[in-house]
């Protein structure tokens, strides 16, 4: 007499024991209407549901290839629709050229202030600048160079919204028409000042200096003639970008 479980799983005394392996094979062999096994279909359903929920929660998310993208950048979010527009490449290049137009004359003045005559004469003798005259030439050169660097405001974000550290208007939107008016006024002024060195024509010949010193002075001040036109071009580009809807 055997005390173990009968070998047959269909024993009347113990009832019928369905085969687990057969049931598992039948469950795995069953397919959804889409042709996918139940586990894969469930996983795909979960993924699509998660994507759908994220898309509904955030309208800035855009679907692509069944996935979800990060929110697209919007530089003008929360601001004026004319802010954050793309700066033309040529305008960015011109903004870098503007400070270079004032650099040679600035270095020439600083060299004079440091005691180098550079061929300049004073009553027939090499010019000797010292004391407050030296301080004046250095401060004048730094001020002009700083004004030239303001051209970057026509192509950089801080020309549309003031930096947080800026007093009074910190982090506020810069009125575009005010910037255009200031830049246009600067264009007229720097063009007039640059022309003062070359018009009338005899102003160069009357310059008390050696021939080499006169040629060096003209070469250093000649790029100033480009400052006004380049600044005017940047002003027009800024106006088109921020003042036209």
- Residue-wise pLDDT for 169-182, tens only, equals 777 888 889 999 99
Q: Between 45 and 225, where is the model more confident? A: 225
Residue 120: inside a domain: yes
pLDDT of residue 238: 93
Q: Between 116 and 172, where is the model more confident? A: 116
Mean pLDDT score of the chain, rounded to an integer?
76
Residue 217: inside a domain: yes
Three-state SS at 33 = coil
What CA–CA distance (Å, rounded) separates 84 from 156? 10
pLDDT of residue 11: 44
pLDDT of residue 71: 38
Average pLDDT rounded to a whole number, residues 113-140: 91
Residue 233: inside a domain: yes
Residue 184 has pLDDT above 70, yes or no: yes
For 225, the domain range is: 89-152+162-242
Q: What angle do helix axes 224-242 and 176-196 make, rounded to 10 degrees?
A: 170
Please state whether the peptide bond connecting residue 70 to the residue before it is cis, i.e. omega within 30 degrees of 0.
Answer: no
Residue 56 has pLDDT above 70, yes or no: no
**79 — pLDDT class (breaks 50, 70, 90):** low
What CA–CA distance (Å, rounded) separates 113 from 93? 32
Residue 117: inside a domain: yes
Residue 17: inside a domain: no
CB 144 within 8 A of CB 106: yes
Place of tokens 């800026």: 166
pLDDT of residue 69: 36
> Looking at the 3D structure of the chain, how many domains does it have?
1
pLDDT of residue 204: 76
Average pLDDT rounded to a whole number, residues 125-143: 92
What CA–CA distance (Å, rounded) separates 212 from 218? 10
Average pLDDT rounded to a whole number, residues 216-222: 93
Q: Residue 120 forms beta bridges with which residues?
A: 209
φ and ψ at residue 80, rounded to 5 degrees: -70, 145
Residue 83 has pLDDT above 50, yes or no: yes
Residue 106: inside a domain: yes
Residue 12: inside a domain: no
**137 — pLDDT class (breaks 50, 70, 90):** very high
CB 80 within 8 A of CB 96: no
Residue 39: inside a domain: no
**183 — pLDDT class (breaks 50, 70, 90):** very high
What CA–CA distance (Å, rounded) separates 150 from 143? 11
């Amino acid at each position: 007499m055997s005390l173990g479980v009968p070998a047959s799983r269909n024993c009347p005394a113990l009832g019928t024991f369905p085969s687990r392996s057969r049931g598992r094979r039948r469950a795995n062999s069953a397919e959804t209407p889409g042709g996918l096994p139940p586990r894969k279909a469930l996983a795909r359903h979960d993924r699509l549901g998660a994507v759908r929920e994220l898309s509904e929660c955030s309208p800035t998310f855009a679907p692509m290839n069944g996935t979800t993208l990060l929110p697209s950048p919007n530089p003008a979010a929360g601001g004026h629709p004319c802010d954050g527009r793309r700066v033309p490449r040529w305008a960015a290049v011109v903004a870098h050229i503007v400070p270079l137009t004032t650099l040679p004359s600035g270095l020439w003045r600083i060299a004079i202030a440091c005691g180098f005559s550079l061929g300049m004469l004073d009553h027939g003798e090499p010019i000797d600048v010292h004391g407050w005259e030296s301080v004046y030439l250095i401060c004048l050169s730094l001020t002009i160079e700083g004004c030239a660097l303001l051209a970057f405001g026509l192509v950089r974000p801080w020309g549309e919204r003031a930096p947080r550290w800026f007093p009074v208007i910190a982090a506020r939107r810069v009125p575009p028409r005010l910037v255009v008016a200031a830049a246009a006024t600067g264009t007229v002024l720097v063009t007039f000042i640059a022309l003062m060195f070359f018009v009338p024509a005899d102003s160069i010949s009357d310059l008390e200096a050696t021939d080499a010193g006169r040629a060096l002075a003209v070469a250093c001040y000649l790029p100033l003639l480009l400052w006004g036109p380049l600044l005017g071009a940047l002003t027009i580009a800024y106006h088109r970008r921020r003042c036209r809807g």
